[in-house]
């Protein structure tokens, strides 16, 4: 069967704002920078130092990241291409240029990912006793057993859909795996059919060793204990004669379609946001196609049928060796093979919170910082549970962005309502890909009598806040938990985040005012200690950067250190460039997207940018200002992106206690900046290089250090 060549045909130029000649050299493109981040994820799959099944997991993450990138970012560019971009990005690239550049930059790591699977991981998995076989490699007895399994379990679920004058081209749902089947009849010649691979079965089917096949008396995957697998679509393709009886099956090739999944809703036209979001979530399966992945061996005639009927251009087609949908190898990472995974760890409850003393009693005396996942998330859950059961607690106010299923936080809030507390919860229904979960929790909370609100029109609420109001002997006291991450105990075990407990009256007053702004009609734009977006966060951060410039001019000791997920905001980048030109030393640790160009003479020679990709997802946001020795440290939920600063409710909170500030600065931020094992340095040309220890330097793996020592805060012992 011949192979078709797919050309990189650029899309037509979109209407966009004119380029500014001085702008492009100053910024990296946002989308291309994200692709570099995903290459660093792939690097963990290639790294022989990473345990084998964790490497498989990183390969899966690389694939699932790309799926979301196409569903959201590429689809957005395509919409701009068709409707006209309202504003050019900082780098000045048009949507058409970005789409073409994305394809060009993406093809090498795509090939590398498949080579990683085929040439590295598969042989090493086989050596470890885990075999993923092609159907052609199976022994006769194994094929016989799988044929029986196909007949009894898979066959009844399958529905082939023909495409001919009497049958319209079938809808291909988002990210579904399909077989493009060509059959030949005596009277009509070759015809096309589409067969959806049912998602109700595991993508990798377990198969028996040959010597075990005769011993298996009953069908069912649970009866096949040997860790040997075959791809589900290959089993189906090998048994197509049962579906297409009386005709010749010419060929069958897997393919997958990615669709626009970026939900848009006109909030001012929605009578009920909860109902509107419930109705729109399911539309992700029907968005415009933005990518077609096909098997490398698919004939051109079949490819053309798909392209024409999906209304795609050749540049949207990605022809790669199977398996298509590499994210599904995550199934292997769940195997019970502890020796092939990271060593287990137990998060620590800081001693100050581990005794019999209540959290409220502790917080009356001191503030507490938690560093997840090294510190346990249980104290956060206990804080809300204790508030729910405490007869002196009058009210609980809470934001929920991504809480996940079976949420103990929501359960505690429901219990608080049962105990006749006043409970107000802001549930962000527009948290992308968590809408269904949040809709379900919102309805459950409403049924229990909780005051549920959905935020402010036109803005997402991304701030992480919990407020407990308690009657005490000396009057009403408020207790607060603020965080950089979500109220989700599952992600709290894999994301690095800071949580902060305090009874500071000014912070508590700020949080109370902010809840009033979110749930009522308050338009407050100033706060005592919090930096709040979209009202004043950008302005106050820029003022602090300018203050550091003044300090540099006065004393020569200006220094900034920021830890973020992303840096794309043009104003903030310009301010950092100006700080560098003034001589301020700037250390940035940006996990993902970074549009700032570091190390450019005359612009950013005093700026370094590093990125850590490792066992845990770096997620905390920290802003450190030396401020002439009057150190200031802020933490919170906001990245330096226009969406965070202009289109979301975000909070940055100060860590003022000298011991806590020094601990977070030295034991977390500065240690991570010294990482030379899992860190990559961004170069002026946009490439990343692994950081290696210099001569005489000890190796520093920050996450490994935190596993060994994190959580044992000296000042909290």
Is residue 462 part of the annotated active site? The answer reads: yes
SS3 542: helix
Phi, psi of 292 (to 5 degrees): -125, 120
How many residues in total does the chain contain?
A: 717
Residues in contact with 560: Cβ distance below 8 Å, sequence separation at least 6, in sequence order:
545, 548, 576, 579, 584, 585, 586, 587, 624, 625, 626
Using alpha carbons only, what angle is made at residue 191 by residues 185 and 197, rounded to the nearest 5 degrees? 115
User: With the C-alpha atoms ordered 503, 508, 512, 518, is the resulting torsion angle positive or negative?
Assistant: negative
Cis peptide before 482 (omega within 30 of 0): no
* DSSP per-residue codes, 44-68: HHH-TTS-HHHHHHHHHHHHHHHHH
Question: Whole-angstrom Cα distance, residue 395 to residue 58?
Answer: 43
Cα distances from 150 to residues 158, 204, 219, 246, 661, in angstroms, run 10, 14, 10, 19, 61
Question: Whole-angstrom Cα distance, residue 245 to residue 155?
Answer: 13
Place of tokens 């407050």: 524
Long-range contacts from 129-132, C-beta under 8 angstroms, 24+ separation: 129/227, 130/227, 130/228, 130/229, 130/332, 130/335, 130/337, 131/227, 131/228, 131/229, 132/204, 132/228, 132/229, 132/230, 132/231, 132/332
- The catalytically annotated residue of 114, 152, 451, 462 is 462
> 464-472 and 393-400 as β-strands: parallel, antiparallel, unpaired?
antiparallel
Question: Whole-angstrom Cα distance, residue 319 to residue 296?
Answer: 5
Q: Which residues are catalytic?
A: 462
């Amino acid at each position: 069967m011949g192979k078709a060549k797919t050309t990189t045909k650029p899309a037509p130029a979109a209407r966009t704002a004119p380029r500014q000649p001085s702008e492009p050299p100053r910024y990296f493109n946002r989308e291309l920078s994200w692709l570099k981040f995903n290459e660093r994820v792939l690097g963990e799959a290639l790294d022989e130092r990473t345990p084998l099944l964790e490497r498989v997991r990183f390969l899966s993450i690389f694939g699932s990241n790309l799926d979301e990138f196409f569903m959201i970012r590429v689809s957005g560019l395509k919409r701009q291409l068709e409707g006209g971009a309202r504003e050019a990005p900082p780098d000045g690239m048009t949507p058409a240029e970005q789409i073409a550049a994305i394809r060009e930059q993406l093809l090498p790591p795509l090939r590398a990912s498949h080579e990683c699977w085929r040439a590295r991981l598969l042989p090493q998995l086989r050596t470890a006793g885990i075999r993923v076989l092609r159907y052609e490699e199976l022994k006769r007895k194994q094929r016989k057993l799988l044929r029986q399994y196909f007949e009894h379990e898979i066959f009844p679920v399958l529905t082939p859909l023909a495409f001919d004058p009497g049958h319209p081209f079938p809808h291909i749902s988002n990210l579904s795996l399909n077989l493009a089947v060509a059959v030949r009849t005596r009277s009509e010649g070759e015809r096309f059919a589409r067969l959806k691979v049912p998602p109700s079965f595991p993508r990798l089917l377990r198969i028996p060793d040959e010597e075990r096949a005769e011993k298996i008396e009953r069908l069912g995957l649970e009866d096949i204990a040997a860790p040997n697998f075959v791809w589900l679509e290959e089993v189906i393709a090998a048994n197509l004669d049962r579906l297409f009886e009386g005709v010749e099956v010419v060929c069958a090739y897997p393919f997958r379609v990615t669709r626009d999944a970026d939900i848009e809703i006109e909030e001012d036209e929605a009578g009920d946001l909860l109902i509107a979001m419930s109705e729109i979530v399911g539309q992700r399966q029907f968005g415009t196609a933005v990518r077609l992945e096909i098997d490398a061996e698919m004939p051109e005639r079949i490819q053309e049928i798909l392209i024409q009927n999906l209304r795609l251009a050749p540049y949207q087609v990605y022809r790669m060796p199977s398996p298509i949908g590499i994210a599904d190898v995550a199934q292997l990472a769940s195997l019970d093979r502890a020796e092939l995974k990271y060593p287990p760890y137990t998060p620590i409850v800081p001693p100050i919170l581990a005794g019999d003393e209540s959290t409220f009693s502790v917080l009356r005396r001191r503030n507490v910082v938690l560093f997840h996942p090294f510190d346990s998330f249980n104290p956060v859950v206990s804080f809300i549970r204790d508030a729910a059961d405490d007869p002196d607690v009058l009210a609980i106010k809470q934001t929920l962005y991504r809480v996940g299923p079976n949420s103990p936080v929501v359960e505690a809030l429901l219990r608080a309502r049962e105990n006749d507390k006043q409970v107000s919860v802001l549930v962000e229904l527009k948290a992308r890909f968590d809408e269904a979960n949040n809709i379900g929790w919102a309805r459950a909370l409403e049924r229990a009598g909780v005051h549920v609100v959905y935020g402010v029109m036109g803005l997402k609420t991304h701030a992480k806040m919990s407020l407990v109001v308690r009657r005490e002997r000396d009057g009403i006291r408020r207790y607060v938990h603020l965080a950089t991450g979500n109220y989700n105990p599952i992600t709290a075990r894999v994301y690095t985040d800071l949580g902060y407990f305090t009874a500071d009256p000014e912070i508590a007053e700020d949080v109370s005012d902010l809840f009033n702004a979110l749930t009522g009609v308050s338009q407050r734009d100033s706060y005592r200690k919090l930096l709040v977006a979209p009202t004043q966060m950008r302005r106050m951060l820029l003022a602090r950067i300018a203050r550091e410039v003044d300090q540099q001019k006065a004393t020569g000791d200006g220094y900034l250190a920021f830890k973020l997920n992303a840096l794309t905001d043009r104003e903030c980048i310009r301010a950092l460039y100006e700080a560098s030109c003034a001589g301020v030393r700037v250390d940035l640790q940006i996990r993902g997207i970074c549009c700032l160009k570091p190390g450019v003479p005359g612009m950013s020679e005093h700026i370094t940018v590093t990125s850590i990709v490792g066992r845990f997802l770096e997620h905390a946001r920290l802003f450190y200002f030396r401020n002439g020795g009057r150190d200031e440290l802020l933490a919170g939920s906001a990245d330096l992106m226009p969406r965070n600063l202009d289109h979301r409710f975000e909070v940055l909170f100060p860590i003022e206690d000298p011991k806590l500030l020094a601990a977070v600065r030295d034991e977390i931020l500065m240690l991570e900046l010294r990482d030379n094992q899992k860190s990559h340095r961004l170069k002026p040309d946009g490439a990343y290089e692994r950081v290696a220890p210099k001569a005489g330097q000890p190796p520093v793996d920050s996450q490994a250090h935190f596993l060994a020592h994190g959580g044992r805060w000296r000042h909290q012992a």
